[in-house]
Structure 1
Amino acid sequence: MKDNRYFQMVYLLLQKGHMTAPELAEHFEVSVRTIYRDIDILSLAGIPVYATQGKGGGIFIQENFVLNKSLLSEEEQKQILMALQGIRIIEEGDTSALLSKLSSVFQKQNTDWFEFDFSSWTKSGARKEVFHLLQSAIFKNKKVMFNYYNGKGECIQRTVEPLKLVFKSYDWYLYGYCCIRNDYRFFKFTRIRDLEMTDDGYTRNIPNEIFARAEKFEMEMIQVTLLFDKSMSVQVYEKFDDEVTKNKDGSLLVETLMPNNELLFSYILSCGDKVEVIAPQSIRNIIFERAEKIQEKYRT
Structure 2
Amino acid sequence: MRADRLLRLLLLLQNRGRMTAPELAAELEVSVRTVYRDVEALGASGVPVVADRGPAGGYRLMEGYRTRLTGLTDAEAGSLFLVGAPGPARDLGLGAVSATARLKLSAALPAPLAERAGSVRDRFHLDTPAWFREADPVPHLEAVARAVWEQRVLRAHYRRWSGEVHRELHPLGLVLKAGIWYVVARAEETVRTYRVSRFLAVDVPGATFERPAGFDLAGYWEESSRRMEAATRQGTARLRISPRARKLLPMRFGAAGTRAVEGAGPPDGDGWVRVELAVEAGSVAVGDLLALGAEAEVLDPPALREALARTVALLADRYGRPDAP
The correspondence for 2:258, drawn from 241, 248, 254, is 241
| Partners of 2:287 and 2:104 in 1: CA distance | 50
Displacement after TM superposition at 1:205 (Å):
1.4
| Partners of 1:185 and 1:122 in 2: CA distance | 28
Structure 2 residue aligned with 1:176: 185
1:197 aligns with 2:214: no
Percent identical residues: 14
1:164 aligns with 2:173: yes
| Partners of 1:199 and 1:83 in 2: CA distance | 25
SS at match of 1:219: helix
SS at match of 2:172: strand
Map 1:27-46; keep pairs closer than 5 Å: none
Rate the CA distance shift 1:158–1:252 in 2: closer, same or farther, 3 A: farther
Structure 1 residue aligned with 2:312: 291
Q: How many residues align?
A: 217
Displacement after TM superposition at 1:198 (Å):
0.8
Rate the CA distance shift 1:100–1:65 in 2: closer, same or farther, 3 A: closer
Question: Does the 8 Å contact 1:229/1:274 carry over to 2?
Answer: yes
Task: Answer 1 or 2: which has greater helix percent.
Answer: 2
| Partners of 1:64 and 1:133 in 2: CA distance | 38
| Partners of 1:251 and 1:278 in 2: CA distance | 13
Displacement after TM superposition at 1:174 (Å):
2.8
Structure 2 residue aligned with 1:97: 100
1:186 aligns with 2:207: no
| Partners of 1:224 and 1:169 in 2: CA distance | 27
Rate the CA distance shift 1:156–1:264 in 2: closer, same or farther, 3 A: farther
| Partners of 1:172 and 1:225 in 2: CA distance | 35
Alignment-mate amino acid for residue 183 of structure 1: T
Rate the CA distance shift 1:105–1:147 in 2: closer, same or farther, 3 A: same
The correspondence for 1:134, drawn from 144, 161, 173, is 144
Structure 1 residue aligned with 2:242: 229
Gapped runs of 5+ residues in structure 2?
1-64, 69-77
SS at match of 2:84: helix
Alignment-mate amino acid for residue 195 of structure 1: L
Structure 2 residue aligned with 1:219: 231
Question: Does the 8 Å contact 1:143/1:202 carry over to 2?
Answer: no
Query: 1:237-276: per-residue Cα shift (whole Å, max 9, x none)?
Result: 4332243137353435431323335442321123333322
Query: 1:91-148: per-residue Cα shift (whole Å, max 9, x none)?
Result: 2222212211212222323252433243x43342325656545323422424152443
Structure 2 residue aligned with 1:7: none
1:149 aligns with 2:160: yes
TM-score, normalised via structure 1 length: 0.57
Question: Does the 8 Å contact 2:140/2:201 carry over to 1?
Answer: no
Alignment-mate amino acid for residue 197 of structure 1: V
| Partners of 1:273 and 1:174 in 2: CA distance | 40
Structure 2 residue aligned with 1:275: 296
| Partners of 1:260 and 1:169 in 2: CA distance | 23
Task: Answer 1 or 2: which has greater strand percent.
Answer: 1
1:260 aligns with 2:258: no
Rate the CA distance shift 1:282–1:251 in 2: closer, same or farther, 3 A: same
| Partners of 2:163 and 2:314 in 1: CA distance | 26
TM-score, normalised via structure 2 length: 0.53
SS at match of 2:125: coil
SS at match of 2:204: strand
| Partners of 1:253 and 1:130 in 2: CA distance | 47
Alignment-mate amino acid for residue 190 of structure 2: D
